[in-house]
Amino acid sequence: MLVSDRDEIIRLLSRKEGREEGREEGELKKARKVALKMLAKGQTIDTIVEFTELSEQEVLALRDGLPLKAAM
């Protein structure tokens, strides 16, 4: 395999990984936004967890205005 072929493969895999990470971060941001709206409407924590797939701890942190960790 030529060095340039190897470099191209690494570049393509890196781009794919970057897109996947960006997509995951976007989904998390959307789930948090939905959770905040549901909290404002008085939905229960259990309901919010069910519909957003966020953890109970994260929903409670949103409710309490605590800082959140970035997507992993």
- Domain chopping of the chain, boundaries: 3-64
For the chain, give the mean pLDDT. Answer: 90
Average pLDDT over residues 44-57: 97
CA-to-CA distance for 14 and 53, rounded, in angstroms? 27
Verdict on whether the full-model pTM lies above 0.85: no
Q: What are phi and psi of 69, to 5 degrees?
A: -75, 150
pLDDT digits (tens, 9 = 90+) for 24-42: 999 999 999 999 999 999 9
